């Protein structure tokens, strides 16, 4: 059947009396959604089509998956499913009243889809109308709904249940401590008094008492009043609530929580915290510019910073009229609530040709071979996102029309700018305690999480993440014997320390800090911000310098000794990702950020950091590990046998435990980071929280080596796939076969204690023949090499010159990774473009000195 005929639907209407008989053959395929079923009625599984799209959305009455017009035939052919519920939302002009204006507002009985509305559409002139039809394939028979009298009861019940089902994205993290805030019913129609009230940037005080904390600004009349009193003695005298009871003014915003990203709003009428989609307009009424609100250490916010000084303004290029960009590669992404970290990373990822070819170039094949539930397939969701960003289908310029009214009517219907990555985020964050929440996250951690998933889900013969992979040579030297050990590990990010001691404006920084402290003591607005200026060369020098290895065990001395470690590039990647290590810890152990300016170069040459290997005259450390105690009963818990020999900084352990992490995880973090510091151990915890044995007791490997962050995050196999012979011999001496010992060690990352437990938990393997074990050993090697990226030669890398050119960077605004906002700048077609969630514009002043993660591509030799 031709596509045009399939979707015409003109002569396909059935007589009412034949409906019941028509549906009889399809009844076994029609299901009623049960509790726990996910109904995807807002978004196509393969594209970003929705009921708002021109062709609407088709929802399968058996799987409850949604499909746009372009993909519905693929699902029909693949599954043979014939019955779909077609959903379409129309935007219509309101009928004028007798006076010439629109009719008075009334409840729209035809609005039944659980969809967001376009806040840019003038609700006084336009309204939504939802339409639902049953469609039978392959002849595309249409049955308008509701049609209770003629449809079988099962069909009616199924349709009602599907239409009333909530979006599967309403609550992605049911176990999260966060409650998902809803928009207040008062936000859109809030009345604000024109009483001339202007709120100062600081120095607030309750207008009915002397309290200066827990203050709330009433958004109707501008009154500043204190909040409720709490049982612990904190809070206020409840004057804000009393004011609501007297006036009925429903919404208030907490002073001290206003940032360019939003604010804490409470509805006295609804008796709960709420969202105010129009908060910027409501605050502007009282002279508060959200874009300029900043945090001061005394908890106050101020907007007294001069233009283009605060990072919020500089990074978002505020105060400059930016030209919107449209078309392929210029598609924005909706912020789902602190999902800007995801948006920024994915924009950068899909600007790389290797990822474009792997997912978008292979899109038909990926879609054709996707599982029956494509919402749960990583490659399908990556291909869908890549197509959404690069096709230009969701980034169209406004219509040009001489009639302004016609533009207002048609622009919403024909324009579908930006995509909402709900399905992508739901899948990629599934099971992750942080990314599945609505809290702000670290873009660097999400980048590594994404690469981990790319590694585990090969899309073809070439893995696109190969372009980031490189080898790091680590040279460890015993300071007493002067002997050295060279090891290699896999990594994906170059982490560059911030050399604060090399700031070129130290005098200005000292003067600023004195003025800031004086202003804080006097409760005055802080002085104009002075940002530390750090030379990039100083950061690169800090990266290349030796670092002390505390608690180093020297195999030459067979004892603990002082040691130093230096890192060099054993290979240079095709694309170099550089992270500026801006985040550190405050005295309260809350992560905070160093607000610095670094003169990042457009062209970078790091060839001088190429590893050289063992040099003439250097003597290697003996390949001997510290003494290993073998317990008498391997089945017993082994941790206690080793605790006496461990040297763990218990103060660091307790500092981490007080932050809420499991005690055993804290002990492992401190041990595996060599007792360097609680800050380093905290980074280890963040990188290993997903591992199944995260909170299990600490067990020690034979060599006591500290695992590299890159390899540990990805569970990568070592460069030498064979376990140490000493460990194999120990297991063989206990009566086990050699191949079983090797397999156990490989399955447990060469951890002797866990390998013994693994053997005893797989007793069936002891009975298997030697040939069978040989075969399993071969399969294990193959799987390990796939995970590492290549065959027996080691991880697959794309080595070459160490000369690079900058093509993108991700910037963070805010005081820590737990808050703030991310945007991305990319160089496309010879010009810089800013990607700020849905806003995609030509950049006029790219703030290359304030970035957090930088993307460089190799310059061809």
Catalytically active residues, by annotation: 340, 821
The DSSP line for 67-113 is E-TTTHHHHHHHH---EEEEEEEEEEEPPB-TTSSBPPP---TT--S
Nearest to 764 by CA among 776, 750, 778: 776
Tokens 């230096």 correspond to what residue?
566
Q: Is 666 annotated as a binding residue?
A: no
Which residues have C-beta within 8 Å of that of residue 206, sequence separation ≥ 6?
212, 215, 224, 225, 226, 236, 237, 239
The DSSP result for 301-351, as a single string, is EE--SPTTTSHHHHHTTTTS-PPB--STT---B---SS-HHHHHHHHHHTT
Tokens read off for 391: 């096709």
- Give the contacts of 442 (CB within 8 A, at least 6 positions apart): 341, 583, 686, 817
Closest alpha carbon to 389 in 444, 343, 450, 423: 343
SS (H, E, C) 228-284: CECCCCCECCCHHHHHHHHHCCCEEEECCCCECCECCEEECCCCEEEECCCHHHHHH
Taking Cα atoms as reference points, which of 295, 294, 259, 257 lies closest to residue 280?
259
DSSP class per residue in 783-822: HHHHHHTSSTT-S------SEEEEEEEEEEESSSTTS-EE
226 labelled as ligand-binding? Answer: yes
Structure tokens at 544: 């290349």
CA distance 746 to 751: 8
- Residue 92's beta-bridge partner residues? 127
Whether residue 673 contacts residue 687, with contact meaning beta carbons closer than 8 Å, is answered with no
Tell me the β-bridge partners of 785: none
Token code pair at residue 827: 């160089």
Would you say 243 is a known binding-site residue?
A: no
Residue 26: CB atoms within 10 A of its CB come to 17
> What is the DSSP secondary structure assignment for residue 584, as one 8-state letter?
E
812 is in an annotated binding site: no
| Cα(116)–Cα(747) distance, integer angstroms | 48
In three-state secondary structure terms, 477 is strand
User: What is d(CA 743, CA 723) in angstroms, rounded to the nearest whole number?
Assistant: 9
Q: How many CB atoms lie within 10 A of CB 395?
A: 24
CA dist list (Å): 801 to 345, 516, 606, 804: 25, 46, 9, 8
**Binding-site entries:** 206, 209, 226, 239
**Binding-site entries for Zn(2+):** 206, 209, 226, 239
């Amino acid at each position: 059947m031709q596509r045009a005929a399939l979707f015409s639907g003109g002569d396909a209407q059935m007589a009412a009396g034949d409906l019941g008989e028509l549906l009889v053959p399809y009844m076994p395929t029609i299901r009623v959604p049960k509790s726990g079923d996910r109904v995807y009625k807002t978004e196509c599984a393969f594209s970003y089509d929705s009921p708002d799209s021109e062709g609407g959305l088709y929802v399968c009455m058996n799987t409850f998956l949604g499909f746009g017009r372009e993909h519905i035939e693929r699902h029909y052919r693949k599954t043979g499913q014939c019955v779909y519920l077609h959903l379409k939302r129309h935007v219509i002009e309101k009928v004028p009243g007798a006076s010439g204006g629109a009719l008075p507002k009334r409840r729209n009985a035809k609005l039944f889809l659980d969809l967001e509305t376009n806040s840019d559409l003038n609700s006084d002139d336009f309204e939504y109308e939802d339409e639902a039809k049953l469609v039978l394939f392959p002849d595309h028979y249409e049955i308008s709904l509701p049609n209770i009298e003629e449809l079988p009861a099962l069909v009616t019940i199924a349709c009602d249940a599907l239409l009333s089902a909530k979006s599967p994205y309403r609550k992605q993290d049911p176990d999260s401590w966060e409650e998902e805030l809803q928009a207040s019913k008062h936000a859109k129609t809030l009345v604000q008094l024109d009483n001339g009230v202007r709120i100062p940037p600081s120095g607030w005080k309750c207008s009915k008492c002397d309290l200066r904390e827990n203050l709330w600004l009433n958004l109707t009349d501008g009154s500043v009043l204190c909040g409720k009193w709490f049982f612990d003695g904190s809070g206020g005298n409840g004057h804000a609530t009393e004011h609501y009871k007297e006036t009925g003014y429903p919404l208030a915003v907490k002073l001290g929580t206003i940032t360019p990203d939003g604010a804490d709003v409470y509805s006295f009428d609804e008796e709960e915290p709420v969202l105010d989609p129009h908060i910027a307009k409501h605050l502007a009424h009282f002279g508060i510019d959200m874009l300029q609100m900043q945090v001061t250490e005394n908890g106050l916010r101020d907007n007294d910073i001069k233009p283009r000084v605060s990072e919020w303004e500089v990074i978002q290029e505020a105060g400059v009229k930016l030209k919107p960009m449209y078309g392929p590669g210029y598609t924005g992404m909706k912020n789902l609530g602190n999902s800007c970290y995801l948006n920024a990373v994915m924009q950068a990822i899909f600007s790389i040709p290797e990822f474009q070819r792997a997912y978008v170039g292979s899109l038909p094949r990926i879609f054709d071979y996707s599982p029956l539930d494509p919402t749960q397939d990583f490659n399908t969701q990556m291909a869908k996102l890549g197509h959404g960003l690069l096709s230009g289908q969701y980034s169209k310029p406004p219509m040009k029309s001489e009639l302004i009214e016609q533009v207002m009517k048609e622009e919403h219907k024909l324009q579908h700018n930006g995509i909402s990555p709900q399905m992508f985020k739901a899948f990629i964050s599934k099971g992750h305690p942080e990314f599945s929440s609505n809290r702000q996250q670290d873009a660097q951690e999400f980048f590594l999480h994404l690469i981990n998933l790319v590694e585990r889900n090969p899309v073809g013969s070439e893995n696109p993440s190969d372009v980031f992979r490189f080898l790091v040579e680590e040279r460890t030297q015993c300071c007493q014997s002067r002997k050295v050990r060279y090891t290699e590990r896999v990594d994906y990010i170059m982490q560059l320390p911030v050399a604060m001691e090399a700031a070129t404006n130290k005098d200005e920084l000292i003067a600023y800090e004195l003025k800031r402290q004086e202003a804080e003591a006097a409760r005055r607005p802080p002085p104009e911000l002075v940002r530390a200026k750090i030379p990039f060369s100083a950061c690169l020098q800090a990266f290349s310098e030796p670092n002390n290895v505390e608690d180093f065990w020297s195999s030459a001395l067979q004892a603990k000794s002082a040691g130093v470690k230096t890192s060099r590039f054993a290979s240079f990647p095709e694309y170099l990702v550089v992270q500026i290590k801006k985040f550190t810890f405050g005295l309260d152990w809350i992560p905070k950020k160093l607000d610095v300016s670094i003169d990042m170069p457009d062209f970078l040459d790091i060839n001088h950091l190429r590893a050289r290997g063992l040099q003439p005259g250097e003597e290697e450390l003996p390949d001997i590990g510290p003494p290993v105690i073998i317990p008498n009963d391997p089945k017993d818990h082994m941790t206690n046998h080793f605790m006496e020999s461990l040297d763990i900084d218990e103060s660091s352990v307790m500092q981490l435990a007080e932050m809420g992490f499991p005690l055993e995880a804290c002990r492992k973090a401190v041990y595996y980071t060599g007792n360097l510091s609680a800050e380093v151990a905290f980074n280890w915890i963040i990188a290993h929280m997903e591992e199944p044995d995260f909170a299990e007791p600490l067990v020690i490997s034979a060599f006591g080596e500290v695992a590299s962050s890159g390899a540990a995050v990805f569970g990568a196999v070592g460069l030498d796939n064979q376990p140490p012979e000493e460990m194999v011999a120990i297991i063989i001496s206990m009566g086990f076969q050699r191949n079983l010992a090797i397999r156990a060690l490989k399955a447990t990352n060469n951890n002797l204690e866990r390998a013994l437990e693994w053997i005893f938990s797989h007793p069936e393997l002891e009975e298997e023949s030697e040939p069978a074990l040989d075969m399993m050993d071969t399969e294990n090697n193959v799987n390990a090499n796939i995970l590492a990226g290549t065959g027996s030669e080691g991880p697959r890398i794309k080595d070459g010159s160490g000369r690079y050119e900058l093509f993108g960077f991700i910037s963070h605004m805010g005081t820590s990774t737990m808050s703030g906002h991310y945007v991305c700048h990319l160089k496309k077609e010879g010009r810089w473009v800013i990607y700020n969630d849905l806003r995609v514009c030509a950049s006029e002043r790219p703030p290359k000195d304030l970035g957090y993660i930088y993307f460089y591509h190799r310059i061809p030799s």
